[in-house]
Structure 1
Amino acid sequence: MWFDLKLEARDGSRHHVRYNPHTSECEGLPLLVEPGIFAAVPRVAKDKPLGKSRAPRILKIQLGLSCNYACSYCNQAVQIGDATVSKLADVAQFLTQLDGWIAQAPEQIELWGGEPFLYWAKIKRLIPALAELFPGVAFSIITNGSLLDREKLEFIAQYDIAIGISHDGPGQHLRGPDPLDDPDKRRWIETLLADRPEKTGFNAVLTRQHHDLRALKAWFAENVGPDVFVGLEGVVNVYDAATAIGTGRFEPAELNSLTRSIFEALVEDPNAFGLGERIDEFYASLQRQRPIEALGQKCGMDREDTIAVDLRGNVMTCQNTGAKGVHKIGHVADFDGIALNTATHFAFRPECMSCPVVQLCKGSCMFLEGEFFKQSCANEFAFNMGIMMAAVWHLTGMVVVGVETHH
């Protein structure tokens, strides 16, 4: 499917670029094309379930979904009732089971909540044992930063854990209390940033109320420091009715301002908020002509080598879902019986297959359906269109002012 990108130069003249996101062919951009060889990826659907590999590259361990905050757009909120409640003794059982289903060391182990540090006793037992079993593995934890203290900072340093602090800057009130307003909590966050700047940063979510990236950058520069890394978890997706009528419901004018905000931030700084990697990937897709058949979902949870488990060995769709409901897709004790049958690859969604930014978006959340998916899709389109516009601008100095299907 070809699209006609209408560009406007600084002198007001109009130009055109033809782009096919299915084949990554592009006519009109100054990029050297060197086609690569790509393997087609498996495409999951409810009637086409996928299994998991005994050699996971990424192991996501869900400690539980309990949290001391109540984000207004929490993607786990509707799953809390389906989450298992584990005991400290389950850590030993989990570690004992590992030999039965993991064939080789993962590259990365992620510990997830809820708020992971509510499970501090489990973390203290789990990570040292995993570090001994898998020397050199990379650990990471996403936290709201409210429970840090000296003991945790020493532990983080000892096991070289990468820490992402979820914080929305001027929109933090949509998450909950701001730990930076508490002198003790701020002290530990600032200490962590000072001691481990390469392994610590903030992650923000863009919402209807707060998606001005200049304001976001200015807030962190003023309240934390000009050099702190602030990345984006992305734009809010819609997982429940409250988000659908609240923080996730962008009006058309707000979707336009979201696109413009992304575009302007990346024009000013092509690496802003870590999005430079997205631009580079887009360029690479054009240069190597990556076909759409080689694309999996954006979260990566449709990959066989990416697995989410809880401490009782249950395997879930992803770390944000509970294992007592429909998102339990198996158990490590019956590894060959694991079947990801709760998701839909974007190839089976007509709106994705007729979208100009599918190579950037990669399908939004793979288990959303109906109006929740439709609304999330609109948000993702606006977000990723801003990235595409910036990528084109950096190559041509021209602004994308329209996109039409090319017949």
Structure 2
Amino acid sequence: MWFDLTLEARDGSRHHMRYNSHTSECEGLPLPVEPGVFEPVERVSKSAPLGKSRAPRVLKIQLGLSCNYACSYCNQAVQIGDATVSKLADVAQFLTQLDGWIAQAPEQIELWGGEPFLYWAKIKRLIPALAERFPEVVFSIITNGSLLDREKLDFIEQYDIAIGISHDGPGQHLRGPDPLDDPHKRRWIETLLAERSEKTSFNAVLTREYHDLRALKAWFTEKVGPDVFVGLEGVVNVYDAATAIGTGRFEPAELNSLTRSIFEALAEDPNAFGLGERVDEFYASIQRRRPIEALGQKCGMDSPDAIAVDLRGNVMTCQNTGAKGAHKIGHVADFEAIALDTATHFAFRDECMACPVVQLCKGSCMFLEGDFFKQSCANEFAFNMGILMAAVWHLTGMVVVGVEGG
């Protein structure tokens, strides 16, 4: 699908480029083209569910959805009642079951909560056993950073665990207390940064109230230091009514402000907040002519080689869902019966197939429906349009001021 983009140069003159979001053809950007070979991905839908591979590249282990914070936009909040409650003894059973369904070592193992360090006793049993079994695997944990101590930091070092600290800087109160305001908690976060800066990051979510990336950068520079890496989990998606009428409900002017914030941050620093990788991917998609048929969902959980399980062997849509409700898609004991029947690939959504940033967005959350999806789609469009604008600006020195087509 072709789109006509109007660009404005520094002298005020107008220029045009054409871009096809389905074929990645682009007329007007100075990029050499060397078409690649792409295999089409399987497209999941409720009527055409997909299974999972016994050789997963990414293994996500949900320890439980309990948390000591209560984020106002939490994407797990409506799932807590459907989450299983496991016991410490379930770790041994999980490890025993593992031999029965996993055929080779994953590249990455992620441990998820809720707040994962509320499950410290389970982590201490689980990771050493997994590290012994899969010595080359990369471990990662996303945490709010409030429960760190010397014992945990030594464990993190021993097993070389990458740590992402969820923190929204000036918007942190939307998540809960700021651990950086507590001298004890701050001490351990600073110690972690000092000892493992290359494997530790802060990750922020952009919301209606707080999406100014200059303010975000300034906040972390002042509160933590100029060299700390701050990445973005993205823009808030809408999973419940409270978020729909609250921090996830951007007004049109606020969506424009979000786009401008992303664009300006990347115009100043092409690697700002880790978004340079997204710009580079966009360039590569054009250079290699990546077709839309080769794109899976943004989260990657529609892929057979990414699987989310709890400690009782239940398989879920993703790590943010509970296994006692609609998002249980199977069990590892009956592996061939696993069926991802809770998701919809963006190819089956009209708004995605008529979108100029689909190659960047990749469909938002794959299990959202109705108004929640529409609202999340609007937020994602504004976010990804900022990335597209920055990509064009770095190659042409011109600003995208209009998009027509679709």
**Normalised TM-score (structure 1):** 0.99
Distance between the aligned counterparts of 1:193 and 1:274, measured in 2?
A: 18
Distance between the aligned counterparts of 2:75 and 2:99, measured in 1?
A: 32
Number of the residue aligned with 1:191: 191
For residues 212-240 of structure 1, the C-alpha deviation after alignment (integer angstroms, 9 at most, x for no partner) is 00000000000000000000000000000
For residues 253-288 of structure 1, the C-alpha deviation after alignment (integer angstroms, 9 at most, x for no partner) is 000000000000000000000000000000000000
Deviation at 1:110, TM superposition (A): 0.0
Distance between the aligned counterparts of 2:42 and 2:363, measured in 1?
A: 14
Distance between the aligned counterparts of 2:208 and 2:298, measured in 1?
A: 22
Distance between the aligned counterparts of 1:46 and 1:164, measured in 2?
A: 33
Distance between the aligned counterparts of 1:295 and 1:5, measured in 2?
A: 23
Distance between the aligned counterparts of 1:324 and 1:261, measured in 2?
A: 40
Deviation at 1:334, TM superposition (A): 0.1
Distance between the aligned counterparts of 2:128 and 2:17, measured in 1?
A: 53
Aligned pairs (5 A) from 1:6-405: 6-404=6-404
Distance between the aligned counterparts of 1:29 and 1:262, measured in 2?
A: 20
Distance between the aligned counterparts of 1:158 and 1:67, measured in 2?
A: 25
Distance between the aligned counterparts of 1:164 and 1:5, measured in 2?
A: 37
Deviation at 1:43, TM superposition (A): 0.1
Distance between the aligned counterparts of 1:5 and 1:287, measured in 2?
A: 18
For residues 116-150 of structure 1, the C-alpha deviation after alignment (integer angstroms, 9 at most, x for no partner) is 00000000000000000001110000000000000
Deviation at 1:104, TM superposition (A): 0.2
For residues 87-126 of structure 1, the C-alpha deviation after alignment (integer angstroms, 9 at most, x for no partner) is 0000000000000000000000000000000000000000
For residues 312-356 of structure 1, the C-alpha deviation after alignment (integer angstroms, 9 at most, x for no partner) is 000000000000000000000000000000000000000000000
Distance between the aligned counterparts of 1:5 and 1:358, measured in 2?
A: 15
- Give 5+ residue unaligned stretches, structure 2: none
Distance between the aligned counterparts of 2:184 and 2:117, measured in 1?
A: 16
Distance between the aligned counterparts of 2:151 and 2:55, measured in 1?
A: 33
Distance between the aligned counterparts of 2:42 and 2:399, measured in 1?
A: 36
Deviation at 1:292, TM superposition (A): 0.1
Q: Secondary structure at the match of 1:322?
A: coil
Distance between the aligned counterparts of 2:173 and 2:390, measured in 1?
A: 30
Q: Secondary structure at the match of 2:198?
A: coil
Q: Secondary structure at the match of 1:198?
A: helix
Distance between the aligned counterparts of 1:358 and 1:201, measured in 2?
A: 27
Distance between the aligned counterparts of 2:318 and 2:136, measured in 1?
A: 24
Q: Secondary structure at the match of 2:280?
A: helix
For residues 293-330 of structure 1, the C-alpha deviation after alignment (integer angstroms, 9 at most, x for no partner) is 00000000000000000000000000000000000000
Distance between the aligned counterparts of 2:114 and 2:71, measured in 1?
A: 11
Paired residue total:
404
Q: Secondary structure at the match of 1:243?
A: helix
What percent identity do the matched residue pairs reach? 90
Deviation at 1:179, TM superposition (A): 0.1
Distance between the aligned counterparts of 2:17 and 2:362, measured in 1?
A: 22
- Give 5+ residue unaligned stretches, structure 1: none
Deviation at 1:30, TM superposition (A): 0.1
Distance between the aligned counterparts of 2:133 and 2:392, measured in 1?
A: 46
CA RMSD of aligned residues (A): 0.2
**Normalised TM-score (structure 2):** 0.99
Distance between the aligned counterparts of 1:378 and 1:365, measured in 2?
A: 12
Distance between the aligned counterparts of 1:198 and 1:36, measured in 2?
A: 33
Distance between the aligned counterparts of 1:125 and 1:299, measured in 2?
A: 28
Deviation at 1:31, TM superposition (A): 0.1
Distance between the aligned counterparts of 1:145 and 1:152, measured in 2?
A: 11
For residues 339-386 of structure 1, the C-alpha deviation after alignment (integer angstroms, 9 at most, x for no partner) is 000000000000000000000000000000000000000000000000
Distance between the aligned counterparts of 1:149 and 1:5, measured in 2?
A: 52
Distance between the aligned counterparts of 2:358 and 2:155, measured in 1?
A: 41
Distance between the aligned counterparts of 1:28 and 1:71, measured in 2?
A: 43
Q: Secondary structure at the match of 1:234?
A: strand
Runs of 4 or more above 2 Å deviation? none
Distance between the aligned counterparts of 1:98 and 1:288, measured in 2?
A: 39
Distance between the aligned counterparts of 2:313 and 2:2, measured in 1?
A: 46
Q: Secondary structure at the match of 2:147?
A: coil
Q: Secondary structure at the match of 2:164?
A: strand
